[in-house]
Amino acid sequence: MTDNPNMTQNIQSFFIVGAPRCGTTAMARYLGKHPNICFAKPKETHYFLFSRPDLSPEAQRQQFLDAYFPNLSSETLTIGEGAVSTLYSKDALQRILNSFESPKFIVMLRDPVELIRSYHARLLHLRQENEEDLPTAWGLQEERSHGRHIPRNCQDPRVLQYREIARLGFYSRQLLDLVGAENCMPLFFDDFLDDTLSSYKNVLQFLDIPYDGRVEFKRVNSASKYKSGLLQSIYSGPLLRPVANQLLRNPIRAAQLQRGLRKLRKKVKRINAVDATPLPLDPVFAAELRERFADDLKVLGRTFDRDLTNWATG
The string of pLDDT tens digits covering residues 48-104 is 998 888 899 999 999 999 999 988 999 999 999 999 999 999 999 999 999 999 999
DSSP β-bridge partners for residue 224:
275
pLDDT at 314: 85
Distance linking the first and last C-alpha atoms of the chain: 49
pLDDT at 240: 46
pLDDT at 273: 60
pLDDT at 225: 55
Whether 166 contacts 145, CB under 8 Å: no
Whether 105 contacts 41, CB under 8 Å: no
Strand-pair category, 224-226 with 184-188 = unpaired
Name the residue ranges covered by the structural domains of the chain: 5-116+161-219+300-307
pLDDT at 228: 47
DSSP letter for 149, please. Answer: S
**pLDDT, tens only, 8-24:** 667 899 999 989 999 99
Whether 99 contacts 52, CB under 8 Å: no
DSSP character string of 162-217 = HHHHT-HHHHHHHHHHHH-GGGEEEEEHHHHHH-HHHHHHHHHHHTT---------
Residue 163 makes CB contacts below 8 A (sequence gap 6+) with 138, 141, 292
pLDDT at 162: 97
pLDDT at 57: 92
**Which residues of the chain register pLDDT less than 50?**
1, 3-5, 227-228, 230-231, 234-235, 238-242
pLDDT at 224: 53
pLDDT at 82: 95
Contacts 24+ apart (CB under 8 A), 259-265: 259/41, 259/42, 262/42, 264/234, 264/239, 265/235, 265/236
Q: How far apart are CA 61 and CA 52, in angstroms?
A: 11
pLDDT at 90: 96
CATH superfamily for 5-116+161-219+300-307 is: P-loop containing nucleotide triphosphate hydrolases (3.40.50.300)
DSSP β-bridge partners for residue 38:
79
